[in-house]
Amino acid sequence: MKLFEPLHVLEAREEQLRQQVNASSEAVRKAFFREQADQIKDPDTYAVLNYVFIGGFHHLYLGRYKLFAMDILLTMTAMLMFFVVDWYRTGAAIVIFLCCFELPQLFLSQKIARRRNYQISYEIFERLRQQNGQPVSEPAYSELA
């Protein structure tokens, strides 16, 4: 599953997963929805956090701690260079880099959160199916951006 993949492909995968969940046993469905409720993140909340832009708090919301640490560290370094050390050019270069890194995430924020939710839902469903002795469906893409 690619980040720039058309939205209708992701929607088709989500619909296929919904149909598989609805066709499964009641025990699997109950366990699936119970587990899914704990792990699913709201795409709108992710988008709002992404609009904050500085600090990378949207990474923290999705549990991408390494990206959050990198983002907050670079932001703080740029601020130090601007206001404390007077290295304006280096600070500006870091801010420009962060903007180039964050802009695609800002514009694709809804899709990023939905992809993450789909991947987690798929993994939960497949694990529950294996535990209940049901056949496993086609493998999902495991890459997350």
Euclidean distance between CA atoms 54 and 13, whole angstroms: 32
Centroid of chain to Cα 65: 12
DSSP structure class, residue 86: -
The model scores a pTM over 0.75 = yes
Tens of pLDDT along the chain (145 residues) come to 566 788 899 999 999 999 999 999 898 999 999 999 999 999 999 989 888 767 788 999 999 999 999 999 999 999 899 888 878 889 999 999 999 988 988 899 999 999 999 999 999 999 998 888 766 555 544 444 4
CA dist 132 and 140 (Å) reads 19
Question: Considering only CA atoms, which of 96, 58, 66 is closest in space to residue 78?
Answer: 96
